Structure 1
Amino acid sequence: MRTLDRYIFRQLILPIGGAVAALTAIALLSQSLTQFDLVVERGQSAWVFIKITLLSMPQLAGLIFPIALFVGTLVALTRMQGEHEFTAAYASGMSLMRVAYPILRIGIYLTLISLMVNLFIQPLTNRAMRQELFDVKNDLLSSLVKEGDFATSPTGLTIYVQRIDQNGLLRQLFIRTDEADGRDRTFAAREGRIVKVDGSSVLVMRNGSNQQLTEKGVIEHQTWDQASFDITSYFASDDYLQFKEGDRYMHELLFPINYAYEKSIRGKYVAEANARLANPLYNIAFVLLAIVSVLGGRFSRNGYAQRIGVAAIIALTIRIFGVVVETASASAWVLNLLQYIVPMIPIFVCLHLIRKHDGTTGRVHQATRRDRTVLQPL
């Protein structure tokens, strides 16, 4: 029996792995398109773009794994059924439940992986992604400086840059500060770069000059090879990094800090916590739907397109309904129980159909053996 389990397991690994890889590639493409403005509009590097795209992937694992498991299992089972491999297993006395055991085991493995991702990896990567997006939003270079445009901050700093290189180097820049005493300063430099020094943003300029009007009304002009200008105060921001419910660990969702804001959205926290525990169950539900659609009925030489189509519609309906229930649970706590019931219903129904099929198959085998016994004396 172990040899057959390993054989079925090997036959399923490649189609399921291929489905996971294909869906992951599609999800990466989708996420990259949504984050493409980081490079186009905010002038971020390709590494920041790739990093944010990859960090957003774990939260999609709950959608990718069940679908990949369903598609990969259907491909493998259809091929094996068409080659009469399961017919030989039934003839040797194996039941459908025994044949389905190694297939179901793969679904259990992916369920445990999804659970680990939801509980630990997703909040970890989401926090890192949120930090990256926060840094991009508050990046002085991307928030204000635009190539070929004069931009003015709310504090009165005007800056012009002719060109911005991919490495963040500013070419041909001009700066004017609006001083309270009316003695404005202007800076002109061939190149410059914004760097962090002890938490402050400092503009380091090279090959330039500055002008300032003195108290006597005389313009003071200086030239230099390198000069530094602290621009932190001109870009003061009251924004702060705030983690959403998808960025929090389970203990933070179930036992939030007693702030008025968090108490007001406690329903979202509870719904998110239950969703992380319930969503992995869709892996088992979808793999059982694939088993029943191919092996849960009579052998058909014309294929199983109709049964597979019905199973696909059922899987899609269940998953959409699960998303609706998850969203509604944020406003009604009692609906959180439905998050577990929705995937459990197809699990119990499929297990019942498998046992029913085993009972029918067993009676057929017993009748066949009786007929053989009666015919033997003849």
Structure 2
Amino acid sequence: MRRNERARNRVIPIARMTLIQRYLFRQIALPVVGACASLAGIGILSQSLDQLEVIVERGQSVWVMLKLTLLAVPQLFAVILPIGLFVGALIALTRLQREQELTAAYASGMTRWRMIEPGARLAAIVAVVMLITNVLIQPWAQREARDQAFEIRTDLAALLVEEGRFVQGPNGLTVYVQEIEQNGLLKNLFIYIEDGDEVTTWDASEARFGRVDGQPVLTMQAGSWQQYSSAGVLQQLSFDRWVFQLAPYVTDTETVRYKPSDLYLDQLFDPSAQLIETAGSRGELLAEAHARLSSPLYALAAMAMALTAILGGAFSRTGYSGRIAKASAAFLLVRIVGYAVVAASAWNGWLNVFQYLLPIAATAVSLRLLFRALKPRRASGWSLSALKARVA
């Protein structure tokens, strides 16, 4: 009977601690998700304002602007997630400490490691999400955005036509379009070409850009053609369909030039000669690769600093503004120095090791301060068993 009672007494505290840890995990995770979502919203808004040029000057649809905006978000995760984790953890831990829920958790017999385990797990999850994003999602999204931007920049409709205006192109070409529909159909097109003393014009009720045998063309429907030669002869004819060759008037030899942020890890660590020539030097590519692998470590540093800011001192009913300010300044300093190390690593390859050492050192120092401060404090109403369990 006594053995059964002892077994039950061992199981009950473990079950209670597991429930408390789940509660703490939820209480910390919700503010973290909210902070990350808010920062992501600010990033999306900023990107959308930058992409307004796509609609205003390039005549693209709202969907294209939205696509380019969303494709830029994965690259922001390396900045957004650690900050969101730090801010959300501070908010949650401050509330838990002020309402003495953490004190109650200590009184229930939770050890130091079990107290910080929910935050550590959340930080590990964020670090894994950042690593997957940096290695797989970011280069794919950046490539898609780069290809889309290249298509917009080389879009013949955007280069040669503008709704309601005469657009002058190369080699004496002038184009006017009364209306451009969302599907790319041109309404009431007029083309004027002056070649010395010879003038040629086309007008069509509808037209559309396309390619024939890889060459850019403009297919016109229901129009007419006029040509006035230097000899004073006027030629004219009507047509149902006319394919106008655009090759003499456009430069179609450009290719997509990728940047280091658009490349996958294998390309960064082992770049070809063409990538080194177009994307950047070998040092810049290596610095980008190590930055992607090391940036998830800042999630661990952010959580460690947040835990130290709230739990690394005595309980205070007036708040923790002083400790929070110090932790925020330390986190900001570590992150800025991290960016400086990335920039310096592009020209000094041996500095790449500090991309890993900096967040690891920040995490270690924070945990050291946290465990030094997490000592049992006397409190009225605590049982002797609870004090013994906390000391353990």
Residue aligning to 2:297: 281
Deviations 1:13-71 (A, max 9, x none): 21111111111111000000111100001100111111111111100000110011111
- What stretches of structure 1 of length at least 5 have no aligned partner? 374-378
Residue aligning to 2:193: 177
> How many angstroms does 1:195 deviate by?
3.0
Residue aligning to 2:255: 240
Distance 1:196 1:19 in 2: 48
Residue aligning to 2:180: 164
Correspondence for 2:238 among 223, 226, 236: 223
Residue aligning to 1:186: 201
1:100 aligns with 2:116: yes
Kindly indicate whether the alpha-carbon contact (under 8 Å) linking 2:257 and 2:278 is maintained by their aligned counterparts in 1: no
Kindly indicate whether the alpha-carbon contact (under 8 Å) linking 1:97 and 1:355 is maintained by their aligned counterparts in 2: no
Residue aligning to 1:30: 46
Percent identity, aligned pairs only, is: 42
Kindly indicate whether the alpha-carbon contact (under 8 Å) linking 1:43 and 1:166 is maintained by their aligned counterparts in 2: no
1:252 aligns with 2:267: yes
Kindly indicate whether the alpha-carbon contact (under 8 Å) linking 1:97 and 1:354 is maintained by their aligned counterparts in 2: no
1:207 aligns with 2:222: yes
TM-score, reference length from structure 2: 0.87
Distance 1:204 1:177 in 2: 17
Distance 1:197 1:263 in 2: 32
Distance 2:249 2:339 in 1: 45
Q: What is the one-letter code of the residue matched to 1:256? A: P
Distance 1:32 1:200 in 2: 33
Kindly indicate whether the alpha-carbon contact (under 8 Å) linking 2:258 and 2:278 is maintained by their aligned counterparts in 1: no
1:64 aligns with 2:58: no
Provide closer, same or farther for how the CA distance between residues 240 and 171 of structure 1 changes in structure 2, counting only shifts above 3 A: same
Distance 1:254 1:206 in 2: 53
Distance 1:325 1:264 in 2: 18
Deviations 1:287-322 (A, max 9, x none): 111111111111001111111111111111111111
Deviations 1:228-248 (A, max 9, x none): 323234212332111110000
Residue aligning to 1:74: 90
Distance 2:299 2:260 in 1: 23
> How many angstroms does 1:226 deviate by?
3.5
Residue aligning to 2:143: 127
> How many angstroms does 1:10 deviate by?
1.4
Q: What is the one-letter code of the residue matched to 2:155? A: D
Distance 1:263 1:134 in 2: 15
Q: What is the one-letter code of the residue matched to 1:243? A: Y
Deviations 1:95-150 (A, max 9, x none): 33320011111000110110011011100110000000000000011123223433
Kindly indicate whether the alpha-carbon contact (under 8 Å) linking 2:259 and 2:280 is maintained by their aligned counterparts in 1: no
Kindly indicate whether the alpha-carbon contact (under 8 Å) linking 2:297 and 2:360 is maintained by their aligned counterparts in 1: yes
Deviations 1:174-233 (A, max 9, x none): 1123559x6543101233222344543332223321112479753221123443323234
Residue aligning to 1:19: 35
> How many angstroms does 1:152 deviate by?
2.8
Correspondence for 1:355 among 349, 371, 375: 371
> How many angstroms does 1:90 deviate by?
1.4
Distance 1:362 1:301 in 2: 16
Moved segments of 4+, more than 4 Å = 213-217, 362-365
Residue aligning to 2:3: none
Q: How does 1:299-314 map to 2 (within 5 A)?
A: 299-314=315-330
Kindly indicate whether the alpha-carbon contact (under 8 Å) linking 1:96 and 1:354 is maintained by their aligned counterparts in 2: no
- What stretches of structure 2 of length at least 5 have no aligned partner? 1-16
> How many angstroms does 1:329 deviate by?
1.3
Residue aligning to 1:48: 64
Residue aligning to 1:376: none
Correspondence for 1:152 among 160, 165, 168: 168
Distance 2:141 2:52 in 1: 19
Kindly indicate whether the alpha-carbon contact (under 8 Å) linking 1:190 and 1:208 is maintained by their aligned counterparts in 2: yes
Provide closer, same or farther for how the CA distance between residues 238 and 198 of structure 1 changes in structure 2, counting only shifts above 3 A: closer
Residue aligning to 1:195: 210
Kindly indicate whether the alpha-carbon contact (under 8 Å) linking 1:155 and 1:235 is maintained by their aligned counterparts in 2: no
Q: What is the one-letter code of the residue matched to 1:188? A: D
- How many matched pairs? 369
Residue aligning to 2:11: none
